[in-house]
Structure 1
Amino acid sequence: MHAITIERPGGPEALRWSEVPDPAAADGEVLIEVAAAGVNRADALQRQGNYPPPKDAPPYPGLEVSGRIKAVGDGVHGWHAGQEVCALLGGGGYAQLVAVPAAQVLPVPKGVDLVDAAGLPEVAATVFSNVVDLARLKPGETLLVHGGGSGIGTFAIQLGKALGAEVVATARAAKRERLLELGADRVIDYRAADFSKEVQADVVLDIMGGSYLKQNVDALKVGGRLVVIGLQGGRRGELDMGQLLTKRALVAGTTLRARSSAEKAGIVRGVREEVWPLVDEGMIRPVIHQRFPMTEAAAAHRLLESNEHVGKILLTN
């Protein structure tokens, strides 16, 4: 088969369409013939040499795919060859074939195109595990989503609204109308205003890290929960512990890729039980900005790093 390999750590030009050994479905795994793969920030970090894959994952980028099951390993129940599925991966999605634990596989939701389904598993698992499972967002609360135009952001806006929350997003002014269409109650242009003076939130989903830490805590209500899932604004920030105590607030940081197979299986099970019905009903839809052929992964990465997109970027076979 062919897959996108990383010739050396560096820019998008380091990505190569290469012939590599075919994977096989081990015990408890399914082999998927890949229709499409989602492009994520983690893929760009891996390409740069800053985010190595887990030891048990393929070396190729790609944390989510959609496609058809080609084969199932021993001990797999509930899945069979020919089924249309999407899946959360530890890596290896930029390829023609990928083997994945059966517990990380999801059916393609009703009314969702097979290719577009590749844009769901990573964002659904990330947003569900942080906003619902960890931060316990409740109906009537306010959710602040940073990077509202990203794949994570566009999904979080829709999930927050489906759960009955008020949703405020930060994004460039050019993305405002699209995010309002997705259900955001307000969109704050982070380049023109201090969001912490514009909103008080019960839950903050943050992709920036250090540079936003003070403002995020300022923006929390009493009893608020700040969940940091990215470090685009740096690793370090100053935290006023007195303010944190006064607000009785929670600050948490999480990653998804490095979690154990058992943890990922639990998250995927929660997504299937609590989020997939919302997608089946049309309350949440994949937001796809652009599709590229798998051989044009470099162009897809350039678009990702430009931050000009709204929603997901996909690679197709």
Structure 2
Amino acid sequence: MTDKVEFIAGKLDRESTFYVAGHRGLVGSAIWRKLEREGFVNLVGRSSAELDLKNREAVFAFFAEAKPRYVVLAAAKVGGILANNSYPVDFLSENLRIQTNVMDAALEHGVERLLFLGSSCIYPKFADQPIREDSLLTGHLEPTNDAYAIAKIAGIMQVQAVRRQYGLPWISAMPTNLYGPDDNFSATGSHVLPALIRRYDEAARSGNTSVTNWGTGSPLREFLHVDDMADACLHLLENYDGPSQVNVGTGSDVSIKELAAIVAGAVGYEGRIEWDQSKPDGTPRKLLDVSKLSEAGWKASISLEEGIRSTVAWYRANIDSIRS
């Protein structure tokens, strides 16, 4: 463990070793691309086959060898409503082990700057909208993904504990719903936007005259392109130092019905859009207050329509190799 590190806002050293945990996932791969574009020359990543982050001894051995100065913890077990609701033990246990192992090893080996990535599901189901960072732990969670949320809340607490006990300038960022290249387009394990892209693309290709979605379509959701998220992460690493997690989003939302219509247009689907109201909607609205992020000098630049069009193009270009 090193002595207390004083945080001075400004560019990170582009030649220092930078470990991106989860560098092949949706967020991690975007952060990797961003760091490469920004001139970082000593990026380190390990696939799950090369390093099981649930294996504590292996994680500590990796940190002893790699000696990263900076870390982004983007590795996590993630999934949509169905996966979270069906496998809560997996989402709780695996994420707790990943987070604890990486952060304990980072602390042991003196990582100077660490960014922990969470999720907007950490906030109460009926939190005032838009959701402020101080809404954390003020109410009941959405029951369909409470296990995952508890794991992410524990990660935030660990970052805050490290700051209090050791004085390291570690931070946490809580993204809204993310989408883009390298997303999970699985029929059973994906989030709503990639699930819609796959569903409507398949319908357009096969000539189906109707597509049925879960719920009523009334819930409101906020969506952020993952390239914007990566840009925000580097900005926070270079400009923000505080104990509170920082919300990362666009500050605006759309209904799931509106989202479905945008996706249908992007893939060229012209059939009927129907809704199975026997299926759960989840949280009625989830819009993040991004005032803290704005005060730190950052805002999103990729529109939802532009982002969906580019994601559809990526999906079609990589349909034979994507996670499905």
**TM-score, reference length from structure 1:** 0.28
Give 1 or 2: higher helix fraction.
2
**TM-score, reference length from structure 2:** 0.28
